[in-house]
Amino acid sequence: MQNNPNLYELFNTIFSDSAKPSKSIQLQIDVLDTLNKNEITETQLSDLFEIFLHMFIYGFKKLNLTFSEESLSVLKAYFESVGIKFNIEIEQFDTILFKDIRYTARYCLIDPSSLSESEPLFISNYNKYSRSKLSEFIAVYQFEYESMVFINFDFI
């Protein structure tokens, strides 16, 4: 995913204008696992999740957003235009959250510098959990010691 110019060109096109109507932009994303054409494999879901996470961070930075409901509703409109919805849960930082299933079963941790640097860095969870749906992939962003943000995506 590192420095994929085609993806960033696509993201720039999506976020260069106002959000389009729901499902009005058709994406065709090729992922590596092509053995089973009838169902999406865990590897393909993982790849899609990371693409949507890159898109989330790209849009977040390009639109100069914050982790507020009003600000994120702007980003949600862009995602809906490509047939994707995302769920954000923001919790006050508490070390108890490190035992929360959303944290322990997370797919990756978003490096805090990702929202200020050009290339996002995701740190994969060392625990292996089997996932069969896009919505089961969770990313966690820890905003200093103020809050923890849990992010997942799903198809509309």
Q: How far apart are CA 24 and CA 41, in angstroms?
A: 25
pTM (2 d.p.): 0.89
**42, 47, 53, 57: CA torsion to nearest 10:** 170
Percentage of residues in the chain with pLDDT exceeding 70? 90
What's the domain range around 45?
Answer: 5-155
Average pLDDT over residues 115-144: 89
Domain tally for the chain?
1
User: For residue 102, what pLDDT is reported?
Assistant: 94
Average pLDDT over residues 103-129: 88
Q: How far apart are CA 154 and CA 86, in angstroms?
A: 6
Q: Is the pLDDT of residue 1 over 50?
A: no
Q: What rounded mean pLDDT belongs to the chain? A: 89
Strand partners, 142: 148
Q: Is the pLDDT of residue 152 over 50?
A: yes
- Structure confidence by residue, pLDDT tens digits, 77-108: 999 999 999 999 999 999 999 999 999 999 99
Q: Is the pLDDT of residue 17 over 70?
A: yes
3: left (phi over 0), alpha (psi -120 to 50) or beta: left
Q: How far apart are CA 44 and CA 136, in angstroms?
A: 13
